[in-house]
């Protein structure tokens, strides 16, 4: 139940939306991340600004060889669209891996990318949190996951982000009357600073034709509903570039550079993959992971879930 009172508005243009935005307001798209946060007393906005009536944010088009996905495109819509592109099968897997059919019917692509990092000590009700000291995210100065750490170590669980990052996606941001294009990586590094009250309008997947393969794997405790314990995405472009991204093991998805460069070398030489590459991948993943405890999964179990990196390599055609 949401006990906190707020105003709700549905502006019909980006200009109006941005004009309404202040420190005391939040944007809402599908609401599958925001509404639970309101129910759990994690957000206290005075104004909730729905983007549902803003035109132009809910279509998927191909423009100049790029796939342009509106931030308000529903996850189910993206899943259906990507079914028709064999080279986007991994993106299709990633979308289908999100939550459940009900959530995919209301959740949006932009909302999935901009979801808050999650933690078992943070995503709890106000009454529950009365029993512990406030943490970095609730106005205190402790991290219950890692009391020795000076900052929050919560993890980012988007299933779409690794796939989009592996595909070198850009994001379009509307702010102060201008639309600007940035790498998705830049946005994810500091979403609120980068957005600065602006609106994420589109995700641009460049040069779709050049994308030969896109693979995605996820491991979660359950086959539906759950956020990933680990996920991974791998792309191969016609030009020979390989990108390998691991998610849900760090506050932002990480690139496994060494593995991706060894993979690129193997593919260039058209050699079958050596068994060694799986060990390289496992070692690099382990080195870069910063697992914390999640429900039903200790950090050690999360480490195990990084087999998704090996699985996604095995998926290479």
Partner 1 sequence: MDKSIIGANIPRLESREKVDGSGRYTDDFSPAGMLYGAVLRSPYPHARVKKIDAAQVLAMPGVMAVILPQDVAGIRYNSSGNPPSDLLVDDEHILTDHPLYEGDAIAAVAAQTPRLCKEALGRFAVEYEVLPAALSVEAALDPSTPPLHPDIAKSNDFQLLAFDQGDVETGLAACDIVLEGEFATPAVHPLPMEPTSCICEWRGNTINIYATSQTPFQERRILAGMFGLPESAVRIVKPLMGGGFGARQQLHYQPQGCLLSKKTGRPVKMLLTREEEMMATTTRHAAKMRVKLGAMLDGKISAMDIEVWHDTGAYCTHGPIVLSAQGKKVQYGVDHYRYRGHCVYTNNVTAGAMRGYGNPQVTFAREMLIDRLARKLGRDPLELRLQNHLARGDTIPGTQTLVSSVAIQTCVDEAERIRKEVDAKRAQPGEWGVAFCMHTSGPSNKSGMSSASIYLNRDGSVQLNLGTADIGQGSETAMAQVAAEVLGIKLECVNVHAADTASTPYDTGTFASSQMFVGGNAVVLAAKSMIKNLATALADVRGVSAAQVGFAGGVFSLPDGQCSFADAAEQVLYGGDNSRVVFGEGSYKAVEAPPVFAVCLVRTQRDMLTGVLTITDAIQTVDAGNVINKNIVRGQIEGGMAQGLGYGWMEQLETDRRTGKHITSDALLYKIPTAQDIPSLYSAAVDSYDEFGPLGAKSIGELTLVPVAAALAISAERSCGKEIFSLPLSKGLLLTRAAKEVAQ
* Options 23, 64, 127, 272; binder of partner 1; rule CB under 8 A: 127
Contact present, 256 and 262 (Cβ < 8 Å): no
| Rounded Cα gap, residues 134 and 148, in angstroms | 15
Q: Which is nearer to partner 1, 80 or 268 (CB)?
A: 80
Q: Is 148 in the site for partner 1 (CB under 8 A)?
A: no
* Options 64, 131, 139, 150; binder of partner 1; rule CB under 8 A: 131
Q: x/- string (CB under 8 A) for partner 1, residues 202-221?
A: -----------------x-x
Q: Is 302 in the site for partner 1 (CB under 8 A)?
A: no
Inter-helix orientation angle 276-288/307-314, to 10°: 140
From 27-35, 153-161, 264-272, 303-311, give the range in contact with partner 1 by CB under 8 A: 303-311
| Rounded Cα gap, residues 92 and 97, in angstroms | 8
* Options 126, 151, 181, 279; binder of partner 1; rule CB under 8 A: 126
Report 71-100 residues binding partner 1 (CB under 8 A).
93, 96, 100
* Least distance between partner 1 and beta carbon 222 (Å): 5
In the chain, the largest separation of any two C-alpha atoms, in whole Å, equals: 62
Q: x/- string (CB under 8 A) for partner 1, residues 263-292?
A: ---------------x--------------
- Using DSSP, state whether 239 is helix, strand or coil: coil
* Least distance between partner 1 and beta carbon 300 (Å): 6
| Rounded Cα gap, residues 132 and 124, in angstroms | 11
Q: Which two tokens stand for residue 15?
A: 């200009």
Q: Which is nearer to partner 1, 119 or 195 (CB)?
A: 119
* Least distance between partner 1 and beta carbon 189 (Å): 27
* Options 94, 188, 200, 305; binder of partner 1; rule CB under 8 A: 305
* Options 128, 141, 176, 287; binder of partner 1; rule CB under 8 A: 128
Contact present, 249 and 292 (Cβ < 8 Å): no
- Express the helix, strand and coil content of the chain in percent, nearest 5 each: 35, 25, 40
Question: Between β-strands 7-9 and 242-247, what pairing exists: parallel, antiparallel or unpaired?
Answer: unpaired
Least Cα distance to 255 among 278, 279, 289, 227 occurs for 289
């Amino acid at each position: 139940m949401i006990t906190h009172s707020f105003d709700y508005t549905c502006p019909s243009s980006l200009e109006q939306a941005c004009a309404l935005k202040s420190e005391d307001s939040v944007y809402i798209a599908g609401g599958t991340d925001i509404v639970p946060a309101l129910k759990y007393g994690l957000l206290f906005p005075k104004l909730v600004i729905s983007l549902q009536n803003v035109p132009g944010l809910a279509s998927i088009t191909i423009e100049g060889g790029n796939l342009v996905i509106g931030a308000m495109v529903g996850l189910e819509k993206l899943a259906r669209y990507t079914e028709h592109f064999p080279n986007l099968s991994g993106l299709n897997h990633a979308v289908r891996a999100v939550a459940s059919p009900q959530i995919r019917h209301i959740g949006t692509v932009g909302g999935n990318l901009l979801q808050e990092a999650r933690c078992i000590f943070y995503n709890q009700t106000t009454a529950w949190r009365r029993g512990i000291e406030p943490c970095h995210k609730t106005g205190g100065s402790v991290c219950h996951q890692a009391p020795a750490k000076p900052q929050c170590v919560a993890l980012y669980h988007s299933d779409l982000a690794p796939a989009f990052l592996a595909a070198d996606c850009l994001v379009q941001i509307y702010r102060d009357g201008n639309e600007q294009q940035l790498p998705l990586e830049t946005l994810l590094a500091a979403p609120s600073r980068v957005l600065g009250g602006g609106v994420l309008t589109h995700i641009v997947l460049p040069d779709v034709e050049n994308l030969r393969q896109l693979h995605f794997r996820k491991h979660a405790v359950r086959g539906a509903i759950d956020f990933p314990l680990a996920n991974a995405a791998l792309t191969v472009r016609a030009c020979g570039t390989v990108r390998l991204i691991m998610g849900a093991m760090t506050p932002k998805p990480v690139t496994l550079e060494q593995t991706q460069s060894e993979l690129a070398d193997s593919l260039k030489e058209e050699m079958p993959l050596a068994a060694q590459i799986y060990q390289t991948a496992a070692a690099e993943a382990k080195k870069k992971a910063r697992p914390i405890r999640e429900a039903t999964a200790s950090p050690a179990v999360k480490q195990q879930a990084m087999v998704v990196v090996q699985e996604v390599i095995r998926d290479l055609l």
